[in-house]
Amino acid sequence: MLRLYLPFPLSGKCRKMHQMQARRRIIDANLNRAREAARVLEDIARFEVESGLIASSLKRLRHDIAALRRADNPIGARDTAGDVGTEISVPEEASRSGAADIVAANSARLEESLRVLEENYKCENAGTAEKTEQLRYTAYRLGAVLLRQINIRPRLEKVQLCVIVTDSLSRHGALETTRRAIEGGADMIQLREKELGDGKFLGLARELRELTRNSDVLFIVNDRADIAAAVGADGVHLGADDLPIAAVKKILGPEALVGATAHDMEELTRAVEEGADYLGVGPAFVTETKPHEPVRGLGWIREAVSGAGIPCFAIGGITAANIKEVVETGADRVAVCSGVISSENVVNAAKTIRFQLPDINRETEE
């Protein structure tokens, strides 16, 4: 029979004190692990992804973890010399393959540490355990958003001109207009149809999907995740009244791009924190497609593209005549509708706009 012996016999009172001391050491160790992991993620968000919003959210999380220590500091229980776990390691800890691997490892470390804290706080303070549970959910969400940005960014990093296609506004019909827009330099096509019946919408989406696939151009469907899924689109662009981003990702799968529209910093922050892969920010000018929508102006474009930390497409009334003003805000991506598809010469309209955008592809290669 296997028998386990403690190094010394413990009376009931001593046993209770030993258990309390052990729990204090567990809490101390996991507070440290959680803060360290949060700091790693924060720096990846800040320097690798260059997202001030994600970095700020991770910083707030790190400070909330620090507040747990300030409220009940267990450092007095620390016994590094007597910790039997300091010599334990596994080979996988010795190397990382890149930023995505670092994020995945430290997200797991953060989540695990917060779970350990939550369970041990349940023995001491139910309120603190509940706070820790909420921090754990926040860690899940922020870790997923950060990893998503690292993994999805290569698909968007070379995309600069998104042409939004609506059949009724297309002078040459949606299919031919799309073909000409791609010839003019569009590297993303977004199909936006508010009035077509489902059957016609689906048929048009299939035609555009085939064209864009053959042209190696991204294809996005506006609003309709069901249509996007049916035709195998690259993603969907959501408005304020559409399905939540998380729900759409469940429908379309992890590889799909999900964009959102932001008219102000509150909408922008919410979209980034909910996991949007890119943003349409505007309107920059009065737009023919939404003439009653308040113009947010170039100041908003400047604020958005400098602070979002994820790809932003300036949108709203952009044409070859005003694209220079848009570029001066720092925008290097635009989404254009009437300014291209309603033109007599779609190819030239697209080329003129694309030519005036800063060449981020060349900068990336250099």
164/307 same-domain check: yes
Bridge-partner residues for 164, per DSSP? 190
pLDDT at residue 337, as a whole number: 96
Domain stop point among 116, 134, 152: 152
Measured CA distances, 2 to 5, 6, 145, 241 (Å): 10, 13, 48, 64
Closest CA to 299 of 256, 331, 255, 259: 331
Q: Are residues 217 and 328 in the same domain?
A: yes
Distance CA 59, CA 66 (A): 10
SS3 content of the chain, % helix, strand, coil (to 5): 55, 10, 35
| SS3 state of residue 184 | coil
The CATH number that applies at residue 319 is 3.20.20.70
Answer yes or no: is 5 within a domain: no
pTM over 0.85: no
pLDDT score, position 259? 96
Q: Are both 204 and 343 inside the same structural domain?
A: yes
Q: Is 88 inside a domain boundary? A: no
| Cα 145 from Cα 25, distance rounded (Å) | 32
In a domain, 215, yes or no: yes
Distance between terminal CA atoms of the chain? 69
Task: Output the CA angle 73-75-80, nearest 5 degrees.
Answer: 160
Among 312, 294, 295, residue whose Cα is nearest residue 303: 312
Of the candidates 182, 205, 206, 181, the residue with the CA atom closest to the CA atom of residue 193: 205
**338 and 194 part of one domain:** yes
**Residue 175 shares a structural domain with residue 120:** no
Q: How buried is residue 232: exposed, middle or buried, by Cβ count under 10 Å (0-12/13-18/19+)?
A: middle
Which DSSP helix (H) or strand (E) runs through 207?
helix 198-214
Residues 213 and 338 in one domain: yes
Domain final position from 152, 168, 185: 152
163 and 141 co-located in one domain: no
Same-domain check for residues 359 and 269: yes
- pLDDT per 10-residue tile (average), the chain, 366 residues: 53 66 88 96 92 91 93 60 53 78 96 96 92 96 90 86 96 96 97 93 97 96 95 93 88 90 94 92 88 90 91 95 96 96 96 91 46
Q: Do both 225 and 350 map to the same domain?
A: yes
Whole-angstrom CA distances from 347 to 210, 291, 356 are 20, 25, 15
Spatial distance between the Cα atoms of 328 and 345, rounded to a whole number of angstroms? 26
User: What's the Cα-to-Cα distance from 163 to each of 18, 124, 271, rounded to whole Å?
Assistant: 67, 58, 22
86: in domain: no
In a domain, 309, yes or no: yes
Structural domain tally of the chain? 2
Residue 169 per-residue DSSP state: G
Domain membership of residue 189 (yes or no) is: yes
Q: Are residues 335 and 186 in the same domain?
A: yes
Q: Is 32 within a domain?
A: yes
Range of the domain at 187: 157-365
The answer to whether the CB of 291 falls within 8 A of the CB of 301 is no
pLDDT score at 287: 85
Tell me, yes or no, whether 271 and 136 share the same domain: no
- Are residues 253 and 319 both part of a single domain? yes
Whether 87 is covered by a domain: the verdict is no
Identify whether the C-beta of residue 163 lies closer than 8 Å to the C-beta of residue 337.
yes
**Runs of H (alpha helix) within 157-196:** 174-183
**Chosen domain end from 112, 133, 152:** 152
* pLDDT score of 366: 41
